[in-house]
Amino acid sequence: MINNCKVKIGFLWNGVLGISEHSVKAYNYIAPFIEQGFECVTFCRDGLQGNYPFPIVLFRTSDELLKQKFWIKNKVDLLIIPTWHRMNDILAAVKNANIKILALGESDGQVSVYFHKWQTFMRLVYMQVGFINKIRASRQWLFKFIFKSRVENDYLINNIELSDFLFLGNTKSVEMLKNFMDLNDRGDLNHKIKFLPYPIDCRFNSVPDYERKKNYILAVGRWESPQKNYKLLERVVMKFLKRNRLWSFIVCGSNCKNIFYNLGNNPRVELHDSLNLSEMYNVMEKCKILLNTSRWEGSPVSINEMLAMGGSIVGPPIPCIESLIHNYPNIPNVCSVAKSYSKEALVEALERAVFGWENNLYCPKAIRDYWFSKVSQKDVMLKLIDYSIRGLS
């Protein structure tokens, strides 16, 4: 075990959103270390810190992070960094300061323009607004594929070389990224790529009242984002409600009531704009199923929260959903995966999950007991400590 009096842990937030606004929250990684007596500091761009409650060092621009003297002055032993497989120049500066790097890849493992053609093309194009911008994005992707794919692959490989460990939030994504490394004859680095689930907020530590669970299906997301595909969710909800009269939906997320105005008059659909974590706990407590309709995902924390609340998951055939298909001891299959990315396939997967709940094939307590031990802040911290021991040895 690491001596927590001698090891200083840092978390670097170099994203564009506020440190508490992104789904990957520094708080959930740092809080359990502080509770165990570790000295911790968070590095954050000035203006994005909000009301962050822990010790913090602010920087104005990313250029400051490229200077070795910044890291020598603010010395830590271990640095946790959400990198999105980028920031190699920053990683190099950290490495030169003799700091061990625990990188959070924040992806589905399908990151290569050359080897993951459709996935990278889709992400780039769908995020654009308007036909002209989509054409420009298509041309940009094609240029990368023809002229820059080798350079991109080398950059991704170097990102892993610079990290002591790189974590992804589900096992299928880990498999995808390791396959990429094998295809580039760099399987020697695969020992660095590890599965680490996102830690859930401590407000989910309370054991839910399973008697509150009713026939509710939950969908939650940033619905303005093309990634979440609100139009598909709307079609799935409407088709399912026509075929099933015993279940209802709760849809939550920013601007939800405006986006889903077509569903607002249906008495079996509840619409809620953004909820705080206490409110989300109460909603998840009474829902049996979480429905995901995203075009792509890294590893959404809502999945871990729902599993920790004793619910099951329904979603398309993307890595974070497919990774849940396992026959774990003492619990049933907790995930119903659609056979394709379509309205019909998602409705069929939803009906399979509903059949399971109506025939007592799911046990909320067993699901909670198994998954909470994987995704709680404390258990994720223990995994990071384990890797930290290896990194410091």
Q: What is the pLDDT of residues 365-390, one digit of tens each?
A: 999 999 999 999 999 999 988 887 76
pLDDT at residue 334, rounded to an integer: 87
CA distance 165 to 187: 14
Q: Residue 232 in contact with residue 346, Cβ under 8 Å? A: yes
- For Cα atoms 108, 110, 111, give the angle at the middle one, nearest 5 degrees: 110
Whether 8-199+376-392 shares its CATH topology with 202-374 is answered yes
- Mean pLDDT, residues 207-231: 95
pLDDT at residue 327, rounded to an integer: 46
CA distance 204 to 278: 9
> Could you tell me if residue 263 is left (phi over 0), alpha (psi between -120 and 50 degrees) or otherwise beta?
alpha
CATH topology for 8-199+376-392 is Rossmann fold (3.40.50)
Q: Into which CATH architecture does domain 202-374 fall? A: 3-Layer(aba) Sandwich (3.40)
| Helix (H/G/I), strand (E/B), else coil: 57 | strand
Name the residue type at position 250: I
pLDDT at residue 331, rounded to an integer: 59
Tell me: pLDDT of 393 over 70. no
Q: Residue 303 in contact with residue 367, Cβ under 8 Å? A: no
Burial of residue 374, with CB atoms counted within 10 A of its CB: 0-12 exposed, 13-18 middle, 19 or more buried:
middle
pLDDT at residue 3, rounded to an integer: 58
> Binning pLDDT at 50, 70 and 90, where does residue 303 land?
very high
Comparing CA positions, the residue from 241, 189, 219, 233 lying closest to residue 351 is 241
Tell me: pLDDT of 337 over 50. yes
DSSP class of 324: T
- The residues spanned by each domain of the chain are 8-199+376-392, 202-374
pTM score, whole prediction: 0.93
Tell me: pLDDT of 88 over 50. yes
pLDDT averaged over every residue in the chain: 92
Burial of residue 320, with CB atoms counted within 10 A of its CB: 0-12 exposed, 13-18 middle, 19 or more buried:
buried
CA distance 314 to 183: 31
Comparing CA positions, the residue from 319, 371, 373, 386 lying closest to residue 102 is 386
124-162 tens-digit pLDDT: 999 998 999 999 999 999 999 999 999 999 999 999 999
> Binning pLDDT at 50, 70 and 90, where does residue 332 land?
low
CA distance 15 to 4: 28
